[in-house]
Amino acid sequence: MPQLRKDPVTKRWVIIVHENIRGPGDFRMVPEIVKSGTCPFCPGNEALTPAEVMSYREPNTTPNQSGWRVRVVPNRYPALQIEGDLDRTGLGLYDMMNGIGAHEVIIETPDHEIIGEIYDRQQMLKIVNAYVDRYRDLKRDRRFRYILLFKNKGAAAGASLDHPHSQLIATPIIPKRVMEEVEGARQYYYYKERCVFCDIIRQELSSGTRIIHETEHFVAFAPFASRFPFETWIAPKDHKASFGDIEESEIEGLADTLRETLGRLIKTLNHPPFNYIIHTSPCDELCAEYYHWHIEIMPRLTKVAGFEWGSGFYVNPTPPEQAAAFLLKSNFL
């Protein structure tokens, strides 16, 4: 059973894995995606993953066999385990609990070789629908306080398999970074009586210098204080705290905005490694008035070094205004 341990100074939680412990010889110095062997995410290899949680399939095909378009399975090496009790306990001044949670993989396409993961509109819509479906389903489990949807693309971004996939981790505590955002948004709201994200979106749309893409319901922009070159956020224009509350009529717009934005990043930066993360409110939604869900996309072009780790300060050699200009120029599709 993985263990959750809390740092008593900063209150950050860490998942300590107690199975398949890695010793000094088990780390590759050069990150590499395992290419050899059989891909467990390819059609025909469904038996190599745990049984699927859900899938969107061709008519008349059977679960855990080929014929799917998007397939969601439990992670074979989960960071957190779905079965069990939290069993909160202390050890002197330290706090810990069992690593209970969900860890799922969203296999985005049957096509292992899809070029640059630039999907057609229908496929991207299926992927976003899978995010929404899994989010809403897991939110019903009262043990979970937060549901994190994210994608790692490329070895430098932490991916260990090549086949296009995203992940979902549901956690029994609200992660520290989420609490920071919620608390910052709360303070702004109590001072201004306005959502800080709504204010940001309004100012970005009005200045226009960092906008990358705009649709009826969504806007993609390079944030004013971008930590990384070509960092890009996508946010709904209307105030909404929880990703799970997206309207059916907005899902297609989100899929189009995500596809357009990722397409521009992939073209402009020549298939960079990247992460994206859906930032949404904690499951309790106590922050519904002042939190505002959004997606943060981070191309992994620079290394995070000692200065960034020690300070939380980032040095960004590409001003976001320039990044937006480069992305706007890109000849997407």
Residues designated as active site: 165
Q: Which residues contact 144 (CB under 8 A, 6 or more apart)?
A: 101, 102, 138, 170, 171, 172, 283
Q: Does 65 bind a second copy (CB under 8 A)?
A: no
Region 158-197 residues binding a second copy, contact defined as CB under 8 A: 158-159, 167, 169, 171, 175-178, 180-181, 184-185, 188, 196-197
Region 193-222 residues binding a second copy, contact defined as CB under 8 A: 196-197, 199-200, 203, 207
Q: Does 262 bind a second copy (CB under 8 A)?
A: no
Angle at 197 between CA 194 and CA 198, to 5 degrees: 60
**Cross-strand pairs, 97:** 4
**Cross-strand pairs, 94:** 91
Which one of 49-57, 132-140, 250-258, 269-277 is the stretch in contact with a second copy (CB under 8 A)?
A: 269-277
Q: Does 112 bind a second copy (CB under 8 A)?
A: no
Q: Rounded to whole angstroms, how far apart are CA atoms 320 and 222?
A: 5
What's the min distance (Å) between Cβ of 237 and a second copy?
17
Q: Which residues contact 308 (CB under 8 A, 6 or more apart)?
A: 314, 315
Interface residue with a second copy, options 42, 48, 79, 288 (CB under 8 A):
79
If the CB atoms of residues 59 and 310 are measured against a second copy, the closer one turns out to be: 310
Q: Say if residue 179 is exposed, middle or buried (CB neighbours under 10 Å; 0-12, 13-18, 19+).
A: middle
What's the min distance (Å) between Cβ of 44 and a second copy?
28
Region 27-46 residues binding a second copy, contact defined as CB under 8 A: 27, 29, 31
What's the min distance (Å) between Cβ of 57 and a second copy?
27
- Of residues 16, 22, 12, the one with CA closest to residue 1: 16
Count of residues near a second copy by CB under 8 A: 96
What's the min distance (Å) between Cβ of 124 and a second copy?
18
Which one of 48-56, 62-70, 226-234, 242-250 is the stretch in contact with a second copy (CB under 8 A)?
A: 226-234
If the CB atoms of residues 261 and 268 are measured against a second copy, the closer one turns out to be: 268
Q: Rounded to whole angstroms, how far apart are CA atoms 165 and 189?
A: 36
If the CB atoms of residues 59 and 92 are measured against a second copy, the closer one turns out to be: 92
Q: Does 319 bind a second copy (CB under 8 A)?
A: yes
Q: Does 315 bind a second copy (CB under 8 A)?
A: yes
Sheet containing strand 165-171, edge to edge, reads 54-57, 68-74, 102-107, 165-171, 146-153, 274-279, 294-299, 232-236, 218-221, 211-214
Own/partner pairs, 192-199, CB within 8 angstroms, 24+ separation:
195/239, 195/289, 195/290, 195/291, 195/292, 196/290, 196/292, 197/235, 197/239, 197/291, 197/292, 197/294, 198/239, 198/292
If the CB atoms of residues 53 and 168 are measured against a second copy, the closer one turns out to be: 168
What's the min distance (Å) between Cβ of 305 and a second copy?
2
Q: Does 97 bind a second copy (CB under 8 A)?
A: no
Q: Rounded to whole angstroms, how far apart are CA atoms 158 and 155?
A: 5
Interface residue with a second copy, options 24, 58, 115, 190 (CB under 8 A):
24
Number of neighbouring beta carbons within 10 Å of residue 279: 21
Q: Does 318 bind a second copy (CB under 8 A)?
A: yes
Q: Are 1 and 84 in contact (CB under 8 A)?
A: yes
Which one of 111-119, 125-133, 154-162, 245-253 is the stretch in contact with a second copy (CB under 8 A)?
A: 154-162
Q: Does 9 bind a second copy (CB under 8 A)?
A: yes
If the CB atoms of residues 53 and 148 are measured against a second copy, the closer one turns out to be: 148
- What is the token pair recorded at 185? 């948004």
